[in-house]
Amino acid sequence: MTPDLDDLRAAVRASHFIAALTGAGISAESGIPTFRGPGGLWRSFRPEELATPEAFQRDPHLVWEWYNWRRGIIRRAEPNPGHRALASLERLKGDGFRLITQNIDGLHDSAGSRHVAKLHGDIWRVRCTGCGSVTRHEEVPLRSVPPLCACGALLRPDVVWFGEPLPELEWREAVDAGRRAQLFLLIGTSAVVYPAAGLVELARSGGARVAVINPEATPLDHLAEWALRGPAGEILPQIVD
């Protein structure tokens, strides 16, 4: 164990309130492609070109096919030791821990995390563009792509695209956790998408100590006391007893 990791383990033990923000990188070891890394491309589209309301308006069929492809990958994926370590941390710390994720894959839930603030929605939910009703994806008859709601309007994945507001309750919880955090873990995210990435700055300005866990550098590493360069599935189990 390196001194860095020993130090962080001690901080995990000593902190009364810890917040963790995860991104696509935590699910990479479960076989789910990240957005901005290798394997993120689908039929030569960059994910950023498809995760927008404009793309959906232009070609809802294409966007639905992309999400169907991703659901296929996610359905076969299992949580990895990184997800499981965060579920253990919640069990150990109880109300002294808050998990915030940008991921829509549901793998934190499958790993046993009880309370997850999902900032960018959930790929297993579907929302009507007309009446706004939200249903589980498996309850939607997928006779046609894109599927239609009983009210006749198009259904869409209940996720947050660029230019759209984050869900209010989850965002409030995340801000509250950022403000209260004594230790903030930034895990597997390129930290370029706002307002999620802004939580690190918020936590830091409230006095939190910050640890970044990522094989690559991020633009927010300068805020971190620990920049642990490696896969979350290897590092997280070492810092959570």
Q: Is 155 in the site for Zn ion (CB under 5 A)?
A: no
Indicate the residue among 12 and 231 with the shorter CB distance to ligand BJW: 231
100 binds, among ligand BJW, Zn ion, none (CB under 5 to 8 A by kind): none
Question: Any residues with CB less than 8 A from the CB of 55 and at least 6 apart, and which?
Answer: 49, 62, 63, 161
Indicate the residue among 57 and 205 with the shorter CB distance to Zn ion: 57
Q: Is 185 in the site for Zn ion (CB under 5 A)?
A: no
Q: How far apart are CA 90 and CA 185, in angstroms?
A: 13
Tokens 């253990």 belong to: 88
Secondary structure class of 194 (helix, strand, coil): coil
State which of residues 51, 85, 185, 212 lies at the interface with ligand BJW (CB under 6 A).
51
Does 120 participate in catalysis according to the annotation?
A: yes
Question: Any residues with CB less than 8 A from the CB of 208 and at least 6 apart, and which?
Answer: 19, 178, 181, 182, 183, 184
Q: Is 78 in the site for ligand BJW (CB under 6 A)?
A: no
State which of residues 149, 160, 202, 203 lies at the interface with ligand BJW (CB under 6 A).
160
Q: Is 119 in the site for Zn ion (CB under 5 A)?
A: no
Q: How far apart are CA 48 and CA 41, in angstroms?
A: 10
Q: How far apart are CA 179 and CA 173, in angstroms?
A: 10
Binding-site residue total for Zn ion (CB under 5 A)?
6
State which of residues 153, 159, 175, 221 lies at the interface with ligand BJW (CB under 6 A).
159
Q: Torsions phi, psi of 19, nearest 5?
A: -115, 140
Burial of 241 (0-12, 13-18, 19+ CB in 10 A): exposed
Indicate the residue among 16 and 75 with the shorter CB distance to ligand BJW: 75
- Footprint of Zn ion (CB under 5 A): 128, 130-131, 149, 151, 153
Please identify every residue annotated as catalytic. Answer: 120
- Footprint of ligand BJW (CB under 6 A): 23-26, 28-29, 34-37, 51, 102, 104, 120, 159-165, 188-190, 192-195, 213-216, 218, 231-233
